[in-house]
Amino acid sequence: MPAETGLTVKTDIAPEISIDYVNRFTQGIKELQKALGITNLIPVAQGGTIKTYKFVKDVKSGVVAEGEPIPASNIKRQLDQTIELPLNKYRRVTSAEAIQLRGRDRAINEADAQLIGTIQNGIRSDLIASVATTTAAAKQGKTLQAAMANLWATLTAKFEGYDGFDTDAANPFVFFVNPLDVADYLGTATVTTQNAAGITYLKDFLGLGTAITSSKVKAGTLFGTAAMNLNLAYIPANGSDLASTFGLTSDATGFVGITHSTDTKTATCDTLVMSGVKIFPEITDGVVKAEIKATV
């Protein structure tokens, strides 16, 4: 059946709206990637899974008498978690009345910005949740500085000898801290905070690494890992049947696909966003926590 006469098709909606928000989303993710020191990007097919691993070590003593058998040490890399990477779909509708009352920029663009921010917040929440499950612990400290120093020492020992890890690299570690725990320090020190995709971070905090501040981290507890241990996996939203079927606008990264379309029968404008992005630690026991205990 031919299209209804007078139908406004998707190409009649200014494509720069979709392009603008693709660029905003992607730029935010790239800034977050840079802040976290992530270099490993993993495209995953829709319905694919992510497998995380941990090392189980049984290292025997190297003190062996002359002529005695040397006991065999054993180090195994075992499957720890299997994580699904779902394709997340979001839609919002703007009415003709809203556009007439507030103008297109406010009615569509401002609300779309809030939608994009909410999606990015979900990525941040997943990241914090993935590091907060660790059971590996460093020595407690009486202050934030002491606890973070103990965490740094534990991580340095844990990652020494790992292929690709460089203790001399700038900010080799990433820490996750509640903002209340850094408030006193920030009140007496000159520190420049930065922001990426809604995350506040402090580069080279205390000379130990990058500190990510989030209220989702329990006060009095901090987590840390090597930057090389963090990975970014995503379902490509470009160059696929998905993109062509729904007319998604994306960029070279494919982190997100967005499209806008009108429906003349309901006099509304639809915003459709599809994305599957997850940041996670590859080696789960490479994440360590420490606690601030004044009575230590």
pLDDT at 168: 63
pLDDT at 12: 45
Q: Can you list the pairs that 10-16 forms with residues at least 24 positions away whose Cβ atoms lie under 8 Å?
A: 10/247, 10/259, 10/260, 10/261, 10/262, 12/262, 13/260, 13/261, 13/262, 13/269, 15/249
pLDDT at 11: 45
DSSP codes of every residue in 174-217: EEEE-HHHHHHHHHHS---EEEETTEEEEEEETTTEEEEE-TTS
pLDDT at 62: 85
Alpha-helical regions (H) of the chain: 15-36, 96-102, 104, 111-131, 144-159, 179-188, 241-246
Could you state, in chain order, the average pLDDT of each consecutive group of 10 residues for the chain (296 residues)?
46 64 86 88 81 80 88 85 86 91 86 88 90 90 92 91 69 90 73 77 86 92 93 86 86 88 90 91 89 79
pLDDT at 167: 63
pLDDT at 296: 57
- Helical pair 15-36 and 111-131, crossing angle rounded to 10 deg: 30
- Provide the 3-class DSSP secondary structure of residue 93: strand
Contact (Cβ atoms closer than 8 angstroms) between residue 122 and residue 132: no
- The CA-based diameter of the chain, rounded to the nearest angstrom, is 94
pLDDT at 5: 47
pTM over 0.85: no
Q: Is the dihedral of CA 280, 285, 286, 287 positive or negative?
A: positive
Q: Which of 258, 274, 192, 270 is nearest to 8 (CA)?
A: 270
Instruction: Give the C-alpha separation, 11 to 211, whole Å.
Output: 44
